[in-house]
Amino acid sequence: MSKSVAIVQSNYIPWRGYFDLINSVDEFILYDDAQYTIRDWRNRNIIKTPHGPKWLSIPIEVKGKYHQKIKDAAVSDTGWARKHWATIVHSYARAPYFSTYRESFEKLYLGMEETMLSQINFHFLRALCEVLGISTPLTWSMDYELSGDKTERLVSLCRQAGATSYLSGPAAKVYLDEGLFLREEISVSYMDYSGYPEYSQLYPPFEPSVSVIDLIFNEGPNARRYLKSCH
């Protein structure tokens, strides 16, 4: 029986390509045993505002520049969620479907009690998948035994998950040792993030790489149509 797996670090309210990757596999493993990297997508993302693109960043206590793992990254200011929600309301109140999702997103933000980044990201990813109608199971690298370095770890996770194929982001082409996968009879393929169609968006010009919440608030139930994996 075939089974496809993707293994990616958790991101905060990521762009639609991230959800395309989730929807393209049978199991999505959040690789939060990986090193936490600053100024990256782990704790922040971009939304559109009347004044242009804006970063929403979750403040993190950085403990050692190269030693902290994503799963160990903790929030340094618990007021972040209320601030983010206020910015989102200000930016998307006029979006066609904001009122449709306002209550559920408001509960998610204002009810957020988690203080660990990995757990926060998981809650948002699960909620966003539900809105988008994506049912792929989200699991943790921490649920498995980890061994080896880089590609060896990914191969080990795939083997333990019973994967017959591994779907990777395109950036991994420069370091992934595909031979290690093939030895375990696991095929490797890469996502293609090119050619995404534009959708109705507030505040021109169109910005293709903003958080998926922009797509949801502007297209509502039609948001799935703008994911390649839903065609």
Q: What is the DSSP string of 71-114?
A: GG-EES-TTHHHHHHHHHHHHHTTSTTHHHHHHHHHHHHHT---
Rounded to an integer, what distance in angstroms lies between the CA atom of residue 157 and that of residue 93?
Answer: 42
* Residue 211 contacts residue 47 (beta carbons within 8 Å): yes
Rounded to an integer, what distance in angstroms lies between the CA atom of residue 98 and that of residue 163?
Answer: 38
Q: Within 10 A of 47 (CB to CB), how many other CB atoms are there?
A: 20
Q: What is the full per-residue pLDDT of the chain (231 aa) written as tens digits?
A: 899 999 999 999 999 999 999 999 999 999 999 999 988 999 999 999 999 999 999 999 987 666 799 999 999 999 999 999 999 999 999 999 999 999 999 999 999 999 999 999 999 999 999 999 999 999 999 999 998 888 999 999 999 999 999 999 999 999 999 999 999 999 999 999 999 999 999 999 999 999 999 999 999 999 999 999 987
Rounded to an integer, what distance in angstroms lies between the CA atom of residue 16 and that of residue 18?
Answer: 5
Q: Is the preceding peptide bond at 205 cis, omega within 30 degrees of 0? A: yes
Rg (alpha carbons) of the chain, rounded to whole number: 18
* Residue 220 contacts residue 96 (beta carbons within 8 Å): yes
Residue among 208, 183, 167, 182 nearest 8 (CA) = 167
**Alpha-carbon distances, residue 157 vs 6, 128, 200 (angstroms):** 10, 25, 39
What single-letter amino acid sits at 213? Answer: I
Rounded to an integer, what distance in angstroms lies between the CA atom of residue 149 and that of residue 157?
Answer: 12
171 by DSSP, 3-state: which?
Answer: helix
pLDDT in tens, 58-72: 999 987 666 799 999
